Amino acid sequence: MPQSNMINFEDYIIKTSDENKEMEQGGQSESILSLPEDQQKEIQKNEEGEGEIIPLVTSKKDKLSNEIDISKYSYQYRTEKEIRYTEKKKISLEILNQVREFLSNDHKKLFQESIINKKKRQNLSVIISEFISQKGITVPGYTADELIKSIVDSLAGLDVLEDLIDNEKITDINVNGREEIWVDELGVGYYLTERRFPNDETLYSVAMKIVNASGESLTSSKPHVDCRYPTMRINIASDLICGQGISISIRKFGTSVRINDNSMIKSQQASGEMLKAFEAFVKAKFNVLIVGPTGSGKTELLKYLVKHVDNRERLIMLEDTAETRLKDIYPHKHIVSMECRFTSDEDTTIDLTVLLKNALRQNPTRIAVGECRGPEAVNMIEIFNTGHEGGFTTAHSNSAPDAVKRLVMMCLRSGMKLDPDVIGKWVTSTFDVVIFQKKMEDHTRRIGEVVELINYENNTPVFTRLFNLNVNQFERENGEVKKIHCSHEQQGFLSLEKAKKIFEAGVDPSLYSFLVSDADKEALGIENF
């Protein structure tokens, strides 16, 4: 457009002389002014193409002169883009269901990975492109690329949750209706994010994408569901049982070990002597029980300990949900992972008890159980106590001694008709050491104690505390604990029986000699260490 608002009126063509006469005579009809061709082109320039001019209309009230101020008038036009947009139709539910069924049947793994990993959606787009091309699927107003992108977003996009899922430091995501999204971030702890779902419909859509891609269902008769994905476990409860709206709980599984020797010492999760002792325990094939409350880092510690397993030893990892991903972490090790399968039919359900029995036929050197919390405890203890040493498992507990009582209770609930003290002696003779993990007020995870189990008497475990956590100082900010300064202290020595077991395994004495009394060092011939 010209920089000046004034245009020479003589450049315009009065459409009819009759209309001009009517204007001069005070008539009510209006004359139509058309811009010159070069002026029209200026208006029509648009990134999408030519515009459609709606002619300017002026009335008899305008005083005719040689110039007219165009700033008084509004030239309206519709671009091709706007016209095309108004003609677009929504992608039908029939098409989305057709594509979803194809992906669930033929590309389930990629479909699930695309839900939780945006990088995988490029591969998903290629497969969807081939499918809609083969089926001749088109939607008015969409180019092929637009249609593919819209289908991918409709089936795999998770809206405000996507960045949280991509953040490797976030381990848990909890959605409490559309207005609350909490996360647990390593080194930070739980906090309420500023993210919100725009409306209930979007939250429902995200929940159903998660459910559908997992092959599960969420209905009025089944208002809660567990969804399994390669790198996370998701539980969804509908608003039929949640007053705040749909609830989504996401636990992310790390595809690497988040802790190492340096990070554990620096964060005061463990001392250097403790890490040496752990290496000695694993190499000597101690049965290790790792306990602690929810979110204390039990699974992460188990993953860390596996690094000390000899590469030639066949380790069978058994889990409710494939959470540890040990083979991905240690591809060079001889590891086989097995996962439970739960169905509505008891005959086809495969729980940990079934997996434990099957593992014995897999020629294992070691067996690890992701989490022990039910009747499978009996089978696990039997296996660990009958020649299959070097086992690992985790359990929920508030202390190391309390973990033994919980295992006794699990055995009793399974129908074991024995005196609790007898079961307790069985448990303490099976597990060599218990490592207790704590989740501190400053959101760090630290090892609270390490004990050697000795016996079980009067419904109480007998043990030696090898290491203990001492809290030394608190740093506070605005009334909240920001940092806790701790240190670990060695409090006892290994029994001669356990020290001898390590010695006979050929473990380097420098890894454990500090846990052996002087008298036992002399008995073992390692007094020089």
Do both 352 and 446 map to the same domain?
A: yes
Residue 162 in any domain: the answer is yes
According to DSSP, residue 350 is labeled: B
Do both 36 and 55 map to the same domain?
A: yes
Which residue has better confidence, 73 or 213? 213
Residue 225 in any domain: the answer is yes
What local confidence, expressed as pLDDT, does residue 37 receive?
Answer: 52
Do both 113 and 171 map to the same domain?
A: yes
Helix (H) or strand (E) holding 437: strand 433-439
Under the banding of pLDDT at 50, 70 and 90, the label for residue 157 is confident
Contact between 173 and 235 under an 8 Å Cβ cutoff? The reply is no
Which residue has better confidence, 33 or 493? 493
Residue 448 in any domain: the answer is yes
**pLDDT tens digits for 474-488?**
999 888 888 999 999
What local confidence, expressed as pLDDT, does residue 1 receive?
Answer: 46
What local confidence, expressed as pLDDT, does residue 521 receive?
Answer: 95
The mean of the pLDDT values for the chain is 84
Residue 420 in any domain: the answer is yes
Residue 24 in any domain: the answer is yes
Angle (nearest 5°) at CA 25 between 21 and 29: 70
Do both 387 and 474 map to the same domain?
A: yes
Do both 291 and 241 map to the same domain?
A: no
What local confidence, expressed as pLDDT, does residue 20 receive?
Answer: 46
Residue 482 in any domain: the answer is yes
- The last residue of one of the domains, among 233, 252, 271, is 252
Residue 375 in any domain: the answer is yes
What local confidence, expressed as pLDDT, does residue 72 receive?
Answer: 46
Distances (CA, A) of 477 to 164, 171, 484: 27, 25, 12
What local confidence, expressed as pLDDT, does residue 52 receive?
Answer: 44
What local confidence, expressed as pLDDT, does residue 63 receive?
Answer: 44
Question: Residue 302: which residues within 8 A CB-CB, separation 6 or more?
Answer: 290, 324, 368, 370, 392, 394
270's tokens: 């463990």
Which residue has better confidence, 318 or 482? 318
| Average pLDDT for 175-192 | 91
For the four alpha carbons of 511, 516, 519 and 520, in that order, the dihedral sign comes to negative
187's tokens: 């080194």
| Average pLDDT for 382-393 | 91
| Separation of CA 305 from chain center | 23
Which amino acid, residue 58? T
Do both 403 and 315 map to the same domain?
A: yes
What local confidence, expressed as pLDDT, does residue 272 receive?
Answer: 97
CATH number, domain with residue 320 = 3.40.50.300
Residue 1 in any domain: the answer is no
In the predicted structure, residue 4 carries a pLDDT above the cut 60:
no
Distance CA(225)–CA(211), nearest Å, equals 8
**pLDDT tens digits for 18-56?**
444 444 444 444 433 444 455 444 444 443 444 444 444
What local confidence, expressed as pLDDT, does residue 524 receive?
Answer: 93
* Among 101-115, 157-171, 396-410, the range of highest mean pLDDT: 396-410
- The last residue of one of the domains, among 86, 102, 120, is 86
Which residue has better confidence, 123 or 72? 123
**pLDDT tens digits for 438-449?**
999 888 899 999
- Of 48-62, 345-359, 510-524, the one with minimum mean pLDDT is 48-62
- The last residue of one of the domains, among 69, 86, 103, is 86
Under the banding of pLDDT at 50, 70 and 90, the label for residue 6 is low
Do both 281 and 389 map to the same domain?
A: yes
Do both 275 and 150 map to the same domain?
A: no
Q: Is 473 exposed, middle or buried (0-12, 13-18, 19+ CB in 10 A)?
A: exposed
Q: In this structure, are strands 189-192 and 56-58 parallel, antiparallel, or unpaired?
A: unpaired
Q: Is 318 exposed, middle or buried (0-12, 13-18, 19+ CB in 10 A)?
A: buried
Can you give the residue range of the structural domain that contains 243?
Answer: 93-252
Phi, psi for residue 370 in degrees, rounded to 5: -55, -50
CATH number, domain with residue 212 = 3.30.450.380
Do both 345 and 302 map to the same domain?
A: yes
Do both 153 and 20 map to the same domain?
A: no
Cβ atoms < 10 Å from Cβ of 292: 26
Our count of domains for the chain comes to: 4
Q: Which residue do the tokens 């419904």 mark?
A: 459
SS (H, E, C) 329-345: HCCCCCEEEEECECCCC
**pLDDT tens digits for 135-154?**
999 998 889 998 998 898 88
SS (H, E, C) 441-489: CCCCEEEEEEEEEEEEECCEEEEEEEEEEEEEEEEEECCEEEEEEEEEE
Do both 285 and 378 map to the same domain?
A: yes
| Average pLDDT for 266-293 | 97
Question: Residue 262: which residues within 8 A CB-CB, separation 6 or more?
Answer: none
What local confidence, expressed as pLDDT, does residue 24 receive?
Answer: 44
Do both 502 and 465 map to the same domain?
A: no
What local confidence, expressed as pLDDT, does residue 30 receive?
Answer: 40
Report the percentage of the chain scoring pLDDT > 90.
60
Distance CA(15)–CA(105), nearest Å, equals 66
